[in-house]
Structure 1
């Protein structure tokens, strides 16, 4: 159940399709339960995904590449959503052109291209959902992608929550909600390093 650049494309398309109808709304409202507003959450997604691409290109062993990508301060909601999508598409292109043996720094383990694709998907989907909640919308991502993300980044949760909807299980694994008999997580971490390493 490998995570691929195609999964990242599918996740991004899901987020953009869900949020595009709301670009005429006020994106200065809080994004879900985050402290950030919707605009800055979208900016974070673009920066984060471009940062992951930078990691795969430069391949540092013990740190992040020292840059930050930012949307123009006067960018409209449509433009900051475009910025987030551009970051994701750059990461997808980088994943497609990077050999599977490449490893680069992430605080949760030296990640391969699949790991960065998976982390990019989770960043896009979860923060896309945060924005959607802030704007009164719902995000409905592809469940097969969510299942692959769980298996790659949260293998214990994938096993323990096999009977739970994968999108729900992914949101539980990232501290977004509680499940029956399972309180909402206040701390969580994914596994960036390839399984078995």
Structure 2
């Protein structure tokens, strides 16, 4: 039940396809419960995905690679969404060409390619949902990808939330929603390191 580069491709495609029809709307609207507007939330996703690819290429042990990826200031919503897609495809390609023994720094543990793919899926889906909310849309991510991402990043949640929709479980695990009998989590942390390490 590993998270793969194919899962990342599916997550990115799902979000881009959901948001593309809304590129004519006002992306200065607040993105869900975030402090960012929709445009900056999308830029953040692109930066995260590019940074994750950079980590896998450089493989630093104790720090992030020192760069930041930004969209042009005057990029349209369609162009910043294109930035997300390009960054996602670059991370997927990097995951595909990195051996399973590769490790690189992340604050949640020395992550392997699967971990970076899972974190890339989570960043894309969760912030894609934030953007969709800000634009009055509903994101419907692939539940099988959500289940694999949940199992990789929040292994304890798989048992604890058995029977809960994987998308709802992923959003609850990252403090975005309440579930029946479970208040919204105020503190959470996913696991970047491989499960056996």
**3-state DSSP of counterpart to 1:62:** coil
1:10 is the counterpart of 2:10: yes
Deviations 1:32-75 (A, max 9, x none): 01000000000000001000000000000000000000000000
Q: 1:39-50 maps to which residues of 2 (within 5 A)? A: 39-50=39-50
In structure 1, the partner of 2:166 is: 166
In structure 1, the partner of 2:102 is: 102
Q: 1:56-95 maps to which residues of 2 (within 5 A)? A: 56-95=56-95
Alignment gaps of 5+ in structure 2 = none
In the TM superposition, structure 1's runs of 4+ consecutive aligned residues that sit over 6 Å from their partners are none
Moved more, 55-64 or 179-188: 179-188
Deviations 1:89-143 (A, max 9, x none): 1000000000000000000000000000000000000000000000000000110
In structure 1, the partner of 2:179 is: 179
Q: CA deviation at 1:162?
A: 1.3
Distance 1:137 1:93 in 2: 29
CA RMSD of aligned residues (A): 0.4
Distance 1:95 1:71 in 2: 23
Distance 2:150 2:160 in 1: 11
Distance 1:166 1:121 in 2: 13
Q: 1:99-138 maps to which residues of 2 (within 5 A)? A: 99-138=99-138
Deviations 1:164-186 (A, max 9, x none): 00000000000110001110011
Distance 1:141 1:159 in 2: 21
Residue correspondences, number: 197
Distance 2:150 2:84 in 1: 22
In structure 1, the partner of 2:155 is: 155
In structure 2, the partner of 1:139 is: 139
Q: CA deviation at 1:158?
A: 1.2
Q: CA deviation at 1:7?
A: 0.2
In structure 1, the partner of 2:38 is: 38
- Relative to the length of structure 2, the TM-score reads 0.99
